[in-house]
Structure 1
Amino acid sequence: MALTRLPDWRRRYEATIDDIKTRPFKWGVHDCGPGLAGRLVLAMTGVDLSANFSVDYTDAASAARKIRDLGFSSLGELVGALLPTIHPSQAEIGDVAALLMPGPIGHALGVVNGERIFVLTDTGIGTVDLLDAVSCFKVG
């Protein structure tokens, strides 16, 4: 799906980061999919990619079951079905990044912010190096 960023996407991106930066990670409520990547894509484009996916999971195992029920082997594969896949070297601010994670979902999602990637942590937003991304997805 090709998305178009809104004219004021940068302001909306920054406001959304400010809104979620101290909210801790919680499965099915505020996690890397709908809580971080989904909210930022919505803010930048006006398109809610999470709207078609119910958030009825409470841990990594139930999230992985949900992903498999949708026909995907990992969270990265699911996002790749929605957005164009790009190499991390092509990623720009606001693009979604997939990071390898141990456990059943295979990937965590983050959002590119220059040479760093915003990720959710137990205490809010943290960052990891862009080089940690295994793939990225173009947002607009």
Structure 2
Amino acid sequence: MRRLDDWKSRLSAYVLACGTRPLEFGVWDCSLFGADGVEAVTGVDIAADFRGRYTTFRGGLRVVRKAGFADHLAVFDHFLGPRIRWMAATPGDLAAVTGEDGSPAVGIVQGAGIYVLAPAGGLTIAPLDAALMAWRVGDV
């Protein structure tokens, strides 16, 4: 998977468009936020087989397990390759932080921060050093 030539502007436009959109599992959740970030950077939709097929976190786990993955993080492992150390993550990469419910939430790296979904809707920024894991998105 390669980064598109205009990935920076595509990713910026995507993040700006997130606005105050509320959480809706299967439509707008942390995994789909990360997958949409991958699509903005590479043009590849790694979540096409999962969109709209669940309405709860547990339902999402059932869907990815039925597809042969241990959890939502394993989907990112499969499509993006081996995890990288958080300090090696650069803008456009993905990282996971501890979500409000204690499970890993996937976000998009931007400098020293990670855009993640805010519980009340829209986005917030977590510090990069809060990352539990990270993935390189495309060839840089």
TM-score (norm 2): 0.87
Structure 1's consecutive aligned runs of 4 or more residues displaced over 3 angstroms after TM superposition are: 100-104
Matched AA of 2:104: H
State how many pairs are aligned.
136
Q: Which residue of 1 aligns with 2:43?
A: 46
More deviation, 8-17/37-46? 37-46
* Separation of aligned partners in 1, 2:69 and 2:42: 25
8 Å Cα contact 2:50/2:64 also seen in 1: no
Q: Which residue of 2 aligns with 1:89?
A: 87
| Deviation digits for residues 80-127 of structure 1 (CA, Å, limit 9, x no counterpart) | 1111221111100010112244769x4211110111110112220111
Q: Which residue of 1 aligns with 2:54?
A: 57
8 Å Cα contact 1:75/1:108 also seen in 2: no
Distance of aligned partners of 1:54 and 1:29 in 2 relative to their CA distance in 1, 3 Å threshold:
closer
* Separation of aligned partners in 1, 2:123 and 2:74: 23
Matched AA of 2:34: A
Alignment equivalent of 1:27, drawn from 25, 28, 33 = 25
* Separation of aligned partners in 1, 2:60 and 2:121: 21
* Separation of aligned partners in 2, 1:14 and 1:62: 30
Secondary structure of residue in 2 paired with 1:81:
helix
Alignment equivalent of 2:6, drawn from 5, 8, 25 = 8
Post-superposition offset of 1:17: 0.7
Distance of aligned partners of 1:94 and 1:133 in 2 relative to their CA distance in 1, 3 Å threshold:
same
| Deviation digits for residues 52-74 of structure 1 (CA, Å, limit 9, x no counterpart) | 33431111111122222222222
Secondary structure of residue in 1 paired with 2:23:
coil
Q: Which residue of 2 aligns with 1:112?
A: 109
How high is the sequence identity, in percent, across the aligned residues?
34
Alignment equivalent of 1:73, drawn from 52, 64, 70 = 70
Unaligned stretches of 5+ residues in structure 1: none
| Deviation digits for residues 16-48 of structure 1 (CA, Å, limit 9, x no counterpart) | 1111132121111111122x1111111111111
8 Å Cα contact 2:27/2:51 also seen in 1: no
